[in-house]
Amino acid sequence: MSNRAYIQGHEGHPHYITNSKVISLQKTISFSPEEEEWVRIIRNLSDPTKLKIYLILTKVKEIPVADLTQVLNVSQSAISHALSDLKNLGLVECHRCGQLICYSLSNSNKKRSFFNLFERFKP
């Protein structure tokens, strides 16, 4: 454990945490591989375009890329890049319908495991 000299003289204060509590908190906050995957997903959904696409897909069964460019007023290359990332994360899936490439939300169980991530950290 690193030197915590800064805390000396603060025993009894509400902010005082023992060394054993620090170690306990370190163990509690470490992520499993599945939770690390959710951190990657959250990081990706912090991108406005990706989040908007994800939110649109929650409101429709499927949508062609061309319509996403119209709805978001973003270039097709930006939409395609964002969709590629979302697909690699397992959040969306695509299929061809004639000349159109259509996207929908994935049918994976990621939504349920996402909520379990936060349940683990409740007091």
Q: Is the pLDDT of residue 117 over 60?
A: no
In the chain, ranges of CATH 1.10.10.10 domains = 31-119
What is the spatial distance between Cα 107 and Cα 112, in angstroms, rounded to a whole number?
11
- Distance of alpha carbon 8 from the chain centroid: 39
Q: Does domain 31-119 have CATH number 1.10.10.10?
A: yes
The CA distance from 38 to 99, in Å, is 33
pTM for the predicted model, two decimal places:
0.69
Query: 100 - beta bridge partners?
Result: 97
Strand order of the sheet with strand 63-64?
Answer: 63-64, 100-105, 92-97
120 DSSP 8-state letter: T
pLDDT in tens, 41-90: 889 889 999 999 988 998 999 999 999 999 999 999 999 999 999 999 88
- Under the banding of pLDDT at 50, 70 and 90, the label for residue 13 is confident
